[in-house]
Structure 1
């Protein structure tokens, strides 16, 4: 799965002031990634506000990204949730022929046991015709996929090829890297840990900040993968302040504020999310002016 080594970005879904999916803005977002060195695109992840999109709006987002991308970059599609059967139904109904893999988040709210998490992904693995990237983000799901569960799934199912690991725990990430097969990808889901995880043997990042500053962030990961440590950390520390800013008042409000500053899309998010405060917007604007 070399297509998923490097920097992927979890794309936003832009909205107009009326709350409609902003197709021209999404086209601009995709073009910005292609022009600035991103390795692959992730559609309808958490950053895409997928939980507040209708089925029709999701299809609009998929169609827009596919058209704007025009086969230039690999694409990964978010298909996840806390109802296993609903995920299996969506996999059966969705045309996945244009996608390299699906990204499927560990169930939120239900708080399954480790065995429940294993059985959930076992069912997905048996149903999915393309590779699967699991997604562990306990800050959102309220349950943590432990390294032994990840290793068990990686060893038992050939089409479970990677995990987006976002527990904000470098030790846990290193345990996953160490305990999974050599060809299994451990991908950072925490922007601030993307470089340390890559240098520890990880395979890069699925990033939020990377779509706002794609050249700098993708260069950082390439330097990390090539073990050009000094060059990589120079970029890491350059980007670190804005990583804090974009998550300070919630994702994707922060990254949409970046895009607004860059004249790529409006900053609108859907309730229950709200836009960033004027104070945070000022910090983001100042950072963008000085990158």
Structure 2
């Protein structure tokens, strides 16, 4: 058997591949497997040895009323953010696409995209000021000028707090969705619209028969990434819900979502095993919703 000699460029390629696999193993597979194992152990910072307790953490989670509320909060948050971002992102991108001037198109895209690249801490502080519960809050000031009598306590009302954070997240992230849809619109040949117009199709028919189906890959990507972002929300809740009346995740756990619940139990309560079990449940929640999106969007819109 002859010895195989690698060319210099092949050695470089092999080194890059090995580094890629090492990165995946170190920062993806090992943490995932370790988290899965910890979900079956009694573990925490300061413990000399983990002890196996089987499904105790999972039984505790599924019997916890707080965890049930956290799951519902997370699902509601995703249901609020994802469809809104898709609808608003597509509508705005189509309006920008109609602008004839390239300069104004780019300015429009930039104005919506800037919030996406701003630090979430700065955005959270800004929106806490906008949501200030007194008459000095911008939103309350405008509403009082419009005729309401009492200022609204946006982040302290259990019925409004999570929705208020969701609105902020939509404002921050929708610029990214607009950019993706705008790029997708540029790939659709204009001759399709011209042919449909000659055949007598109105604007809605052209949108339903041409734009939506041909944007299916973009819609699927937006839906999946937006869902993952919504399920992984942490900073917004952490920053915006610490008030004198309600601690983080409050009031009454109304803004407590999965990732914050995991963080709180892992680092504040030192329940690493319990938090790891919750993280595995979150993983399967994201996986399940993503698979449903693949099935629904492809069947619904693709030719």
| Shared fold, TM over 0.5 | no
Q: What's the TM-score once normalised by structure 2's chain length? A: 0.26
Structure whose alpha-carbon radius of gyration is higher: 2
> Relative contact order (alpha carbons < 8 A, sep ≥ 6): 1 or 2 greater?
2
Task: Answer 1 or 2: which has greater strand percent.
Answer: 1
